[in-house]
Amino acid sequence: MRALPRSFYDRDTVEVARDLLGKVIVRRMPEGVTEGRIVETEAYLGTGDPASHAHRGPTPRSSTMFGPPGRAYVYLNYGMYHLLNMVTQSEGQAGAVLIRAIEPVEGARLMAGRRGGTAGSPEVSNGPGKLTIALSVTTADNGADLTRGDLVVKDAPPVRGEVACGPRVGVEHRSTDHLRFYMAGNAYVSRK
DNA sequence: CCGCGGATCTTCT
DNA sequence: GAAGATCCGCGGA
């Protein structure tokens, strides 16, 4: 399968968040290649989304969200964990999709080694801070082009199984928030 | 099994 | 000065 084209990301953020389920993140590093299938995402919008870093306009950290689509937005959370997002919508319009969980499909042992865990265990990549460790993604990857290079998202057949949606994790207004998408029943989803 | 707190960067009050 | 798109280890039940 080929890398997803930039036009895939140049759309409504919520649609991209849903459509990224089942796609595969390919990570190339000197020590080996790791790949993970996306099983959980969350959409973060621009103005009007209080939970989004872009809500109050661009800052040095969030400026990537306002840039061109099809790039990685990586930031340090709680001073400890790197979180990986895919930038959406046209340049000038803020939007990003947080990758919350992946299922290893290549290099599972390498991922488990980075995590200090066991290959095959969901603990390796069942959370946004965990999967960046498993893939060795850091703020050095902020702004990286996802259509080519060492951090790429490749196309994959449509997801089999049920796609569920619900409120994002750790944000207010839970009753009206339906911006989290995940593969129902998948063992790597971060929360039930 | 569950709840609490620590680690520690960026942004805003 | 405090909270946040998190995770882990500790103590108690």
Nucleotide lying nearest to A123, CA to C1' measure: C7
Q: Is the pLDDT of residue A123 over 90?
A: yes
Rounded distance, CA A165 to CA A46, Å?
A: 20
- Asked whether the beta carbons of A43 and A56 are under 8 A apart, the reply is no
B11 C1' to A1 CA distance, Å: 40
> Which sign, positive or negative, has the C-alpha torsion A108, A158, A127, A151?
positive
Which nucleotides on chain B have any atom < 7 A from a protein Cβ? 7-12
- pLDDT, tens digit (0-9, with 9 covering 90-100), for A148-183: 999 999 999 988 889 999 999 988 777 778 999 999
- pLDDT, tens digit (0-9, with 9 covering 90-100), for A23-57: 999 999 999 999 999 999 999 999 889 999 999 99
In terms of C-beta density within 10 A (0-12 exposed, 13-18 middle, 19 or more buried), how is residue A175 classed? exposed
Q: Find all residues with CB under 8 Å of A115, minimum gap 6, and list them.
A: A123, A124, A125, A130, A133, A134
| Mean pLDDT to the nearest integer, A128-141 | 98
Residues whose CB is below 7 A of strand B: A 53, 56-57, 59-62, 75-76, 78-80
B9 C1' to A129 CA distance, Å: 15
How is A83-110 classified by DSSP, letter by letter? EEEEE-SSTTS--EEEEEEEEEEE-HHH
C12 C1' to A68 CA distance, Å: 51
SS3 A125: coil
- pLDDT, tens digit (0-9, with 9 covering 90-100), for A69-82: 999 999 999 999 99
B4 C1' to A68 CA distance, Å: 41
In terms of C-beta density within 10 A (0-12 exposed, 13-18 middle, 19 or more buried), how is residue A166 classed? middle
Rounded distance, CA A57 to CA A98, Å?
A: 18
Q: What are phi and psi of A154, to 5 degrees?
A: -105, 155
The predicted structure's pLDDT at residue A171: 82
Which nucleotides on chain C have any atom < 7 A from a protein Cβ? 4-8
